[in-house]
Amino acid sequence: MLKRFWLWLGRLLGRLLLALLVLGLAGWGIGALVYHFKYRGPVSTEEVVAPTEAADTQAIIEDAIGVVEQHRDNTRVLRDAHAKAHGCVRAEVRVRDDLAPALRHGVFAEPSKEWQAWVRLSNGNAYPQFDRIRDARGMAIKLLDVPGAKLTADPRHAGEQDFVMFNHPVFFVRDVAEYRSNFAAQAEGKKVLAFFPSGDPRTWELRHLFIALRTLSPAPESPVATTYSSVAPYKLGPHNIKYRVIPAPEQCPDYQLPEQNRDLPNFLRSALYQQLSLDRMPACFALQVQRQNPQYYMPIEDTSIEWDESISPFETVADIRLPAQDFDSPEQNLACDNLSFNPWHALPEHRPIGGINRLRKAVYEAISTYRLERNGVR
């Protein structure tokens, strides 16, 4: 009797599993077909501003200020995103000698030109947490003493050209309207439900939920051992581009980082310190750009879409070197906290484009001003 029951249960579970597998495969197949037909080129090379964008932006700023206040670190107000730094380090950014003439614009106009820069390496979370926790990792570069009028009028940033990235190629929302509803839901603690705004399946953002889950990835072995992407598009002179910074150990002397203790809360800072300060070994990267090919689905107004590398490969425009250095002093860490990176600290030749970048202009300025004033720096 018992044996028959177990056999029956086994068959039932087997059929259930098979049904689930078939359903999963069918769902995946339908998803792939929809993706293929819905997301096809050609696309516009121009920006398109949604009518609700200004109101959405204002609402997002108010929510973001709520978040920084919520995560206040005793007396200091931290960044709303990428609150925890692994360090701010000095860097040299050298334009490639053989850079193609078509890519010589803005700070890349002059081959062999070397810029001095600050690089801030960070975890993406809104408040500091152990480095081993899944998260996005950020890299923000600030080139110094860059001549020419910038896109922001603030004289404090008059000589700066920033590049602001994290280590995933796509963003978990497409545009400002979706960011507003998602961010508001997340601020109420609805982490997964934020992607299912109503009972209507047409509003469900399953693909974006998967992007969010993949963005929160395990920590790399060091902040210099991962690729950082601009995610959103920019101008490079007449071109629309995305950019990324990719490790280029072949440009540096051979070095093997000793294994770090990943249970230490700040092991990514330790890894950076071990390489640059203790072992006195530099770290190397390549700064690369990818040009939009509007014949294919490489949209300006949707940051959840990766531009296909097989259609438009990345081209190296500059080499980045973090020389051996001491960076982990209380003074430098405080100065690092008080820096502001913003994609709009830029020459017109590097203008940020697309809705998410337009949103970032208002939000980064507002949050940076708010936290620096609250911290008594301004």
Question: How distant is the alpha carbon of residue 304 from its chain centre?
Answer: 12
The interface region with ligand HEM, picked from 17-25, 78-86, 108-116, 257-265 by CB under 6 A, is 78-86
> Which residue number places its CB atom closest to ligand HEM?
138
Residue 242 found at the interface with ligand HEM (CB under 6 A): no
> Judged by CB, which is closer to ligand HEM: 99, or 232?
232
**One of 303, 304, 305, 350 touching ligand HEM (CB under 6 A):** 303
Residue 322 found at the interface with ligand HEM (CB under 6 A): no
What is the closest distance, in whole angstroms, from the C-beta atom of residue 320 to ligand HEM in the complex?
15
> Judged by CB, which is closer to ligand HEM: 164, or 276?
164
Residue 120 found at the interface with ligand HEM (CB under 6 A): yes
The interface region with ligand HEM, picked from 35-43, 102-110, 292-300, 361-369 by CB under 6 A, is 361-369
Helical (H) or strand (E) element with 69: helix 53-70
Residue length of the chain:
378
Residue 143 found at the interface with ligand HEM (CB under 6 A): no
Residue 268 found at the interface with ligand HEM (CB under 6 A): no
d(CA 125, CA 216): 9
Q: What is the DSSP letter of 73?
A: B
Residue 166 found at the interface with ligand HEM (CB under 6 A): yes
Residue 360 found at the interface with ligand HEM (CB under 6 A): yes
Strand ranges, E, within the chain:
85-95, 114-123, 137-143, 161-166, 228-229, 234-236, 239-247, 283-291, 315-322
d(CA 103, CA 245): 16
The interface region with ligand HEM, picked from 213-221, 265-273, 304-312, 367-375 by CB under 6 A, is 367-375
Residue 87 near residue 273, CB atoms below 8 Å:
yes
- Which x/- pattern over 339-358 shows residues binding ligand HEM (rule: CB under 6 A)? -xx--------------x--
Residue 129 near residue 140, CB atoms below 8 Å:
no
By CB neighbour count within 10 A (0-12 exposed, 13-18 middle, 19+ buried), where does 216 fall?
middle
Residue 115 near residue 93, CB atoms below 8 Å:
yes
What is the closest distance, in whole angstroms, from the C-beta atom of residue 57 to ligand HEM in the complex?
8
Residue 172 found at the interface with ligand HEM (CB under 6 A): no
Which amino acid is located at 36 in the chain?
Answer: H
By CB neighbour count within 10 A (0-12 exposed, 13-18 middle, 19+ buried), where does 85 fall?
buried
CA dist 244 to 100, 193, 203, 248, Å?
18, 31, 31, 12
Tell me phi and psi for residue 137, to 5 degrees.
-120, 135
What is the closest distance, in whole angstroms, from the C-beta atom of residue 188 to ligand HEM in the complex?
17
Residue 182 found at the interface with ligand HEM (CB under 6 A): no
Residue 79 found at the interface with ligand HEM (CB under 6 A): yes
Residue 131 found at the interface with ligand HEM (CB under 6 A): no
Residue 171 found at the interface with ligand HEM (CB under 6 A): yes
**One of 91, 126, 140, 146 touching ligand HEM (CB under 6 A):** 140
Residue indicated by tokens 């700064």: 287
- Tell me the CA end-to-end span of the chain in Å, nearest whole number: 80
**One of 118, 179, 267, 307 touching ligand HEM (CB under 6 A):** 179
> Judged by CB, which is closer to ligand HEM: 130, or 183?
183
Residue 320 found at the interface with ligand HEM (CB under 6 A): no
Helix (H, G, I), strand (E, B) or coil at 268: helix
Q: Which of 51, 115, 74, 53 is nearest to 361 (CA)?
A: 53
- Which x/- pattern over 55-74 shows residues binding ligand HEM (rule: CB under 6 A)? -----x---x----------
Question: Rule CB under 6 A: which residues touch ligand HEM?
Answer: 60, 64, 79-82, 120, 122, 138, 140, 164-166, 171, 179, 231-232, 303, 340-341, 356, 359-360, 363-364, 367-368, 371
